A = this chain, B = another copy of it.
Amino acid sequence: MLRDKNLVCVGDFERYGESILPKNALDYYRSGAGDEFTLALNRDAFRRLRIRPRIMRDVSCRDQSTTVLGTKVAMPIGIAPTAMQRMAHPDGECGNARAVGAMGGVFILSTLSTSSIEEVGAAAPNTVKWFQLYIYNDRDVTRKLVKRAEQTNFRALVLTVDAPVFGIRIADIRNKFTLPPHLSLANFEGIKATGVKSESDSGINEYVKKLFDQSVTWDDVRWLKSITQLPLILKGILTADDAAIAAGLGVAAILVSNHGARQVDFTPASIEVLPEIVKAVNGQCEVYLDGGIRQGTDVFKALALGAKMVFMGRPALWGLACGGEDGVKSILSIIKNELDSVMGLTGCATLEDIKKEMVVHESHYSHL
């Protein structure tokens, strides 16, 4: 069926997915904060980077495998945590987790998932899974999520640090975004499970405002480290200063991200800040990136600039919308294949061969 549609690049999945999703879900998935300047910038910033291929190197055996947090993965590409994936397709988080596992990548499950930690654990036992955390006013909520993730064999915790409140997304306000009644936030019960609804605003924003803790500080990072053995990743850092603090506190990794441009409009693109963050952490922890990854060249650029792994948010949702688990698998194969092509054509047989000097900003070429 997917083959029939002749979907051959991620853009094809985006267009087709957007044509079939219901408006409430589509807008929630698609939109960014405010004017969506940074939403566009997340893509444009990649277009401003040039790739400098090297030639005459033996690229007959190309290998995308690497390790993250000590775990071997078959490709440097994972799926970022996005809330409420079953609005896209019944396969939802379980399908996503299975698909990326099959391709040898990493799956990050959102706190606000429509399938529970345990459901996903059971559906995709062999996938490398990490759990994304929000900190609720009631710390016990968070503590319990951590324990359940540990027990279900998730291998790391991803604390999202850019979301004390949720950004203003115009389309969701216009739609008075509400989680469809047949779905719930599956990790919870009661109001925490069904409270994403609104008659006057964005239901998700009201939910967050009511339940998330807006007073979290670096102390909470220390607290979190104290209650678990899982490695801790901070997701949503955009400045060298914060990266240095995080590295100093001994986090395992930083996931450079502007939350898919959904929080504050006019933040830099994540790829724009990657270099300063890589420099700031200076090897003390691993660095990953999400935001605007749509094709092999994007992955190549992020790796060249120092990311060890990249994650995609929306593309996995389009994959689900177009074909459930199979759709996600198609998208991942496309990108993996594109990365393989770029590697072959730039003289890189392994990820280590992708060097910083192979990617330059377009301004590099503005002087003769």
Segment of A21-29, A52-60, A74-82 in the binding face: A52-60
Interface string of A27-62 (1 = CB under 8 A from B): 000000011010000000101111111111111100
Task: Judge whether B52 and A268 touch: CB under 8 Å.
Answer: yes
Does A326 make an interface contact (CB < 8 A)? no
With A8-B173, A368-B361 given, is the CB distance from A50 to B264 under 8 Å? no
With an 8 Å Cβ cutoff, the count of chain A residues facing the other chain is 78
Give the chain B neighbours of A312 by CB distance below 8 A: none
Give the chain B neighbours of A238 by CB distance below 8 A: 52-53, 55
Segment of A105-113, A138-146, A210-218 in the binding face: A210-218
Segment of A84-92, A160-168, A178-186, A280-288 in the binding face: A160-168
Does A194 make an interface contact (CB < 8 A)? no
Task: Judge whether A297 and B266 touch: CB under 8 Å.
Answer: yes
Least Cβ–Cβ distance between A356 and chain B, in angstroms: 8
Segment of A93-101, A149-157, A338-346 in the binding face: A338-346
Give the chain B neighbours of A45 by CB distance below 8 A: 365
Give the chain B neighbours of A66 by CB distance below 8 A: none
Task: Judge whether A217 and B58 touch: CB under 8 Å.
Answer: yes
Give the chain B neighbours of A214 by CB distance below 8 A: 58-60, 344
Give the chain B neighbours of A215 by CB distance below 8 A: 58-60
Cα A52 to Cα B237 in complex, Å, equals: 10
Task: Judge whether B268 and A8 touch: CB under 8 Å.
Answer: no
Give the chain B neighbours of A350 by CB distance below 8 A: none
Does A295 make an interface contact (CB < 8 A)? yes
Does A170 make an interface contact (CB < 8 A)? yes
With A60-B214, A361-B368 given, is the CB distance from A267 to B52 under 8 Å? yes
Task: Judge whether B54 and A239 touch: CB under 8 Å.
Answer: yes
Task: Judge whether A221 and B164 touch: CB under 8 Å.
Answer: no
Task: Judge whether A267 and B56 touch: CB under 8 Å.
Answer: no
Instruction: Given contact pairs A49-B266, A60-B214, enumerate 7 new A-B contacts (beta carbons under 8 Å).
Output: A51-B264, A51-B267, A53-B239, A54-B242, A56-B216, A59-B165, A356-B368
Of all A-B residue pairs in the complex, the 10 with the closest CB atoms, nearest first, are A60-B215, A60-B214, A272-B365, A58-B215, A264-B345, A55-B161, A165-B344, A363-B366, A51-B266, A56-B218
A-B contacts, 7 listed (Cβ < 8 Å) = A35-B47, A54-B239, A57-B217, A58-B215, A164-B345, A214-B344, A264-B342
